[in-house]
């Protein structure tokens, strides 16, 4: 190999040295970088060929144990230090119509045309390029994949297409999402969700804050909501808001989750992330849920987070409540008018000091004369009535809890809006999910740990477009036999037939809105819930 490399280096230098003797330093560096890529690529090619020779020939197909046919196959790669082609034996099973290259496995090489080292650089570029501009790493991330391509070309001399970078980023993002889905599957089966090492406990505070919100993304099938969740320990340090002068327990290191999914699936995501932040251990005694008034949030918060011995405090974002007051004030007195402000401002103080009751009294006293005002008052009354329990601001303030959901709104902007809702963009759901998930990883400070799992080696199953396992359909028999809540649980969690509920049980469940179930709690008298999803979190986490 030494001889071969000597020849290669000699040839590479011979071709460029005359031109280098008259070049300025910028050109010199560029040309030498190119020569370096040729030489180092050649070195990797030869070392890999040596490795391939030492590998044993697989005797049989690992799937069907049938005979394997040996072929020689070349695989060109764009790498971190050079471009090269791996020449290696490839073993083909005619029965499975599938082949394997032992060298690829030995080298830890995943699918695609980019080497693992370069893949890591490319997937991380969003963050790096923004940080170089001295901005919040996520506030100004690029609108397209093109800047990543340019930066790789500029810094490493490696040439990639936009499409290659897109596929790579989406594949690695899909791997991150598959890891979350695997955790959710473990949670549904009642298995330990995370290893001991993966759990990030706060040592100095027993309070975990959870904020949930949604943001619309233009998908190929129309506008679709992505749900965003931000979690962080609260306190013991205090933070004083410079605008309002209010003091509350400060947010600790935050972590994010994001999914283009239905409410129930989002809550499983929240649950596994909360477990990762210490829920279910003695480290977390109180969970504070902060959100706007959206029903899908409050319907399930306690069911998913209220484990035995854990207090759940639900707080409606005060700024969202203000927006309802402004809608009424503007409708009554003219948008942006002084009279509108004179009506709104005292009520904001009342809400802060006494909760929703004085606001509802003030709304009831109004005698609107326009349809617009009638509507605004009606909306506000519904909102304040429905969320009155979540607006006990005097009590929350006394406990120094935050009453604004600014953290998750910032996550919505950084994770989703800054990247996915640029003008003219349309996304496939798996693509938007993968990119948003990758951004959440960066923002949660888990990038290095994620890369230790070798996400670039992940190959999605050949027959599945998305790494998320398909949702099994509910048979007619189940649909008729179970209350709606059971059908929902069955469809999402269960692969096995469910036991029939009695007609009496079914009738009771459907005649009133079903109360939120705690995980592991029994519904309808029969232990259906527990049997269906086969989970008993309360005994697992004790």
Residue ranges in contact with Zn ion by CB under 5 A: 61, 63-64, 66, 93, 95-96
- Pick the closest to residue 157 from 29, 25, 22 (CA basis): 29
Is residue 491 within 8 Å of 473, Cβ to Cβ?
yes
Question: 10 vs 66, which CB is nearer to Zn ion?
Answer: 66
Q: Identify the CA nearest to 254 among candidates 441, 491, 517.
A: 441
CB 93 → Zn ion: shortest distance, Å? 3
Least distance to Zn ion, CB of residue 94, Å: 8
* Contact predicate 358/333, CB 8 Å: no
If the CB atoms of residues 70 and 295 are measured against Zn ion, the closer one turns out to be 70
Q: For residues 67 and 108, which CB has a smaller minimum distance to Zn ion in the complex?
A: 67
Residue 233 has which token pair?
């320990």
For 5, 111, 135, 262, the CA distances from 41, given in Å and listed in that order, are 11, 19, 35, 47
Closer to Zn ion by CB, 63 or 198: give it: 63
Main-chain phi, psi angles of 240, to 5 degrees = -105, 125
> What are the φ/ψ torsions at residue 334 (nearest 5 degrees)?
100, 135
Token digits for 313? 């405090």
* Rg of the chain over all Cα atoms, to the nearest angstrom: 29
- Kindly state the smallest distance separating residue 67's Cβ from Zn ion, in Å: 9
We find the least distance from the C-beta atom of residue 109 to Zn ion, in angstroms, to be 21
> From the CB of 97, what's the least distance to Zn ion, in Å?
8
Q: How far is the CB of 102 from Zn ion (least distance, A)?
A: 15
Helix axes 357-364, 371-386, angle to 10 degrees: 160
Helix (H) or strand (E) holding 434: helix 429-443
* Nearer of residues 95 and 449 to Zn ion, judged by Cβ: 95
Shortest distance, CB of residue 460 to Zn ion, whole angstroms?
20
Rounded least distance, CB 66 to Zn ion, Å = 5
| Nearest residue (CB) to Zn ion, 28 versus 96 | 96
Smaller CB separation from Zn ion, 66 or 394 = 66
How far, in Å, are 172, 186, 233, 320, 518 from residue 537 at the CA level?
31, 11, 22, 34, 9
Nearer of residues 60 and 295 to Zn ion, judged by Cβ: 60
How many Cα atoms occupy the beta-carbon half-sphere of 463 within 13 Å? Answer: 4
């Amino acid at each position: 190999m030494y001889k071969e490399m000597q020849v290669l280096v000699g040839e590479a230098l011979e071709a460029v040295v005359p031109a280098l003797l008259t070049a300025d330093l910028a050109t010199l560096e560029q040309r030498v970088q190119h020569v370096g890529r040729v030489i180092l690529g050649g070195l990797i090619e030869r070392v890999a060929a040596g490795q391939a020779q030492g590998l044993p020939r697989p005797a049989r197909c690992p799937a069907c144990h049938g005979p394997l046919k040996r072929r020689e196959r070349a695989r060109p790669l764009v790498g971190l230090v050079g471009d090269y082609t791996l020449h290696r034996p490839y073993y083909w099973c005619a029965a499975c119509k599938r082949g394997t290259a032992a060298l690829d496995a030995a080298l830890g090489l995943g699918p695609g045309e980019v080497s693992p080292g370069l893949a890591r650089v490319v997937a991380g570029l969003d963050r790096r390029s923004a940080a170089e501009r001295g901005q919040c790493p996520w506030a100004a991330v690029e609108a397209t994949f093109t800047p990543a391509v340019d930066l790789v070309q500029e810094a490493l001399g490696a040439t990639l297409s936009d499409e290659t970078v897109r596929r790579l980023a989406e594949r690695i993002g899909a791997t991150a999402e598959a890891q979350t889905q695997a955790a959710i599957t473990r949670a549904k089966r009642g298995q330990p969700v995370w290893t001991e090492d993966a759990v990030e406990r706060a040592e100095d505070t027993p309070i975990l804050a959870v904020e949930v919100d949604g943001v619309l993304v233009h998908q190929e099938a129309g506008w679709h909501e992505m749900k965003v969740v931000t979690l962080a320990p609260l306190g013991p340090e205090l933070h004083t808001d410079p605008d309002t002068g209010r003091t509350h327990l400060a947010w600790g290191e935050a972590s994010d989750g994001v999914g283009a999914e239905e409410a129930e699936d989002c809550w499983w995501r929240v649950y596994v992330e909360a477990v990762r932040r210490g829920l279910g251990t003695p480290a977390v005694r109180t969970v504070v849920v902060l959100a706007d008034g959206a029903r899908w949030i409050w319907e399930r918060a306690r069911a998913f987070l209220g484990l035995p011995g854990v207090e759940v405090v639900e707080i409606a974002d005060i700024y969202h409540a203000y927006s309802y007051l402004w809608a009424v004030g503007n409708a009554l007195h003219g948008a942006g008018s002084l009279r509108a402000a004179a009506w709104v401002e005292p009520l904001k103080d009342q809400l802060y000091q006494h909760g929703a009751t004085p606001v509802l009294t003030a709304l009831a006293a109004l005698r609107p004369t326009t349809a617009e005002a009638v509507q605004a008052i009606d909306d506000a009354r519904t909102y304040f009535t429905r969320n009155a329990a979540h607006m006990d601001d005097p009590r929350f303030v006394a406990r120094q809890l935050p009453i604004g959901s600014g953290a998750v709104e910032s996550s919505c902007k950084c994770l989703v809006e800054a990247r996915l809702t640029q003008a003219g963009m349309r996304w496939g759901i798996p693509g938007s999910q993968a990119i948003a998930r990758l951004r959440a990883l960066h923002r949660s400070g888990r990038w290095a740990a994620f890369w230790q799992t070798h996400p670039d080696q992940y190959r999605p199953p050949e027959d599945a477009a998305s790494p998320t396992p398909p949702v099994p359909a509910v048979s007619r028999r189940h649909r008729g036999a179970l209350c709606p809540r059971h059908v929902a649980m069955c469809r999402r969690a269960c692969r096995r037939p469910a036991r029939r509920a009695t007609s009496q049980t079914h009738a009771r469940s459907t005649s009133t809105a079903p109360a939120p179930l705690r995980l592991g709690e029994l519904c309808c008298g029969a232990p259906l819930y527990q049997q269906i999803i086969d989970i008993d979190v309360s005994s697992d986490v004790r």
